[in-house]
């Protein structure tokens, strides 16, 4: 149940971030909508809350288990790149690069979650 909520909110996070990136790059007025400003924060709180609950329920923790340490740092990278893409970057190329990088980091996090290995989909390049 907890894991399903976690996965579902990860999916919502990805979808909302993907769409908001397109809206920002087109200069869409959708970014001014109240729900667009609120829902992502509520969803990200659920994602992090279920992440914490899951670590407790499986007894594995960041700074103890490498794959969770990587997940945590990659989440911070995803958030920073997201802020850059949606709010800080001044040029179109800057926004696009930050947006694409954030999407790649997100997919990396999913691969770390599925493999429970710190390198995730990068594993084949590491051996
Ligand atoms: C964007 C951020 C995140 C995404 C996309 C994500 C994605 C996922 C996915 C897809 C799973 C299911 C894996 C499976 O089928 O076994 C999962 C499970 C899990 N995630 Fe996350 N996650 C994120 C952030 C985090 C963070 C920050 C933590 C904690 C540091 C965390 C802790 C866990 C735990 C403990 C599980 C359960 C693993 C198990 O049941 O064995 N997640 N996550």
Q: Whose CA is nearest to atom 2 of ligand 1?
A: 75
17 Cα: distance to centroid of ligand 1 (angstroms):
18
Residues 45-103 have pLDDT tens digits of 999 999 999 999 999 999 999 999 999 999 999 999 999 999 999 999 999 999 999 99
Q: Is 112 in the pocket of ligand 1 (CB under 6 A)?
A: no
Alpha-carbon distance of 109 to 78, in angstroms, equals 9
- Cβ(3)–Cβ(37) below 8 Å: no
Q: How confident is the model at residue 127 (pLDDT cuts 50, 70, 90)?
A: low
CB 68 near ligand 1, within 6 Å? yes
User: What is the rounded average pLDDT for all residues in the chain?
Assistant: 95
Rg, C-alpha atoms of the chain: 15
């Amino acid at each position: 149940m907890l894991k399903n909520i976690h996965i579902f909110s990860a999916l919502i996070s990805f979808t909302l971030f993907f769409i908001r990136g397109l809206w920002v790059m087109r200069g869409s007025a959708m970014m001014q909508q109240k729900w667009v400003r609120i829902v992502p924060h509520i969803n990200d709180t659920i994602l992090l809350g279920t992440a914490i609950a899951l670590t407790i329920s499986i007894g594995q923790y960041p700074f103890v288990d490498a794959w969770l340490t990587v997940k945590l740092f990659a989440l911070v990278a995803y958030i920073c790149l997201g802020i850059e893409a949606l709010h800080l970057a001044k040029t179109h190329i800057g926004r696009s690069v930050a947006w694409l990088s954030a999407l790649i980091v997100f997919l990396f996090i999913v691969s770390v979650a599925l493999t429970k290995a710190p390198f995730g989909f990068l594993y084949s390049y590491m051996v």
